[in-house]
Amino acid sequence: MNILFVADPLETFQTYKDTTFSMMRETQRRGHRIAACEPRHLSWRSGGRVQAHLREIALTGAPGEWFEVQREVMRPLMEFDAVLMRKDPPFDSEYFYATHLLEQAEREGARVFNKPGSLRDHPEKLAIMEFPQYASPTLVTRDAEDVKRFHAEHQEIILKPLDGMGGMGIFRVGADGLNLGSIIETLNHHGTTTIMVQRFVPEIAQGDKRVLVIGGKPVPFSLARIPQGSEIRGNLAAGGKGVAQALSARDFEIANALGPVLAARGLLLVGLDVIGDYLTEINVTSPTCFQEIHQQAGFDVPAMFVDALEAAMRA
């Protein structure tokens, strides 16, 4: 197969932990050909096809110069067997526009994973609204008084922006309500921006579990991202420690319920965030943790992913 990865600049990859790199390595191991571009390299002109200025590459196996460019070329996306959208968040206007270009490429015959329309339809924090039976008590609002009433009911809460990533902008407020008004103003910009508020789940001390679902089926191990020191955030980007562990019965229950539903919508790879027994986010843009789970638990997540990709291409 010819596979195009739409991703961040290759030069920024930290290959010892990067999930997209692990996908590339497994696809090359199986004899597939690899090309890469960034969303900014996508373009469309009336009368033509969505195309990309891309680099056809081969992985070298070296730790430093890990890829070599075989040639640079402009090619229509429909010429590839699969296009993998692996651009990291934030889901900003440019990401949004890229999904529309990729959706046009689909209309022209390209196979894009995850499906561009489903990327738009499943904002990573708000997607849990469809599955409230698995989520902790949650409020989505821009109204400060709503937030204060939610705090009065639940005492300990977490507040976060809807467009945050890597744990940015997350606040915990205790029963005393210290600084609650100031935090609300910071996040909702005096009532102009919608935010999310959730009841604090103390099991965060045991980790914010990333449960991967591939082709509708759960990977049997999660990566628990455990807060360190005085932090409440387990995100690896915020200094959390990643520990691979077998899925709990509740993890399987959530993953088995959501997996087939999301896979049917063209979401080949999904990352569910679970704290204790509660679903907190549904990540669809570029879920990670392949290498950490593979290295610590011995389960070959990249192989499971490429198996699912090959099966999707045969379907």
Dihedral angle computed from the Cα positions of residues 103, 105, 109 and 112, in that order, rounded to the nearest 10 degrees: -60
User: What's the pLDDT tens digit per position in 223-271?
Assistant: 999 988 767 766 676 678 999 999 999 999 999 999 999 999 999 999 9
Please give the class, per CATH, of domain 204-314.
alpha beta
- The DSSP element (H or E) to which 297 belongs, if any, is helix 290-297
Write down the domain spans for the chain: 2-114, 137-200, 204-314
What pTM was computed for the model?
Answer: 0.94
Sheet holding 157-161, edge to edge: 138-141, 195-199, 157-161, 171-173
Q: 130-178 pLDDT, tens per residue?
A: 999 999 999 999 999 999 999 999 999 999 999 887 778 899 999 999 9
- Residue 315's pLDDT is what? 85
For the domain bounded by 2-114, which CATH number is listed?
3.40.50.20
More reliable by pLDDT, 283 or 90: 283
Q: How far apart are CA 79 and CA 81, in angstroms?
A: 7
As annotated, the active-site residues are: 125, 160, 210, 225, 233, 273, 281, 283
The CATH classification number of 137-200 equals 3.30.1490.20
Least confident of 5-9, 56-60, 86-90, 302-306: 86-90
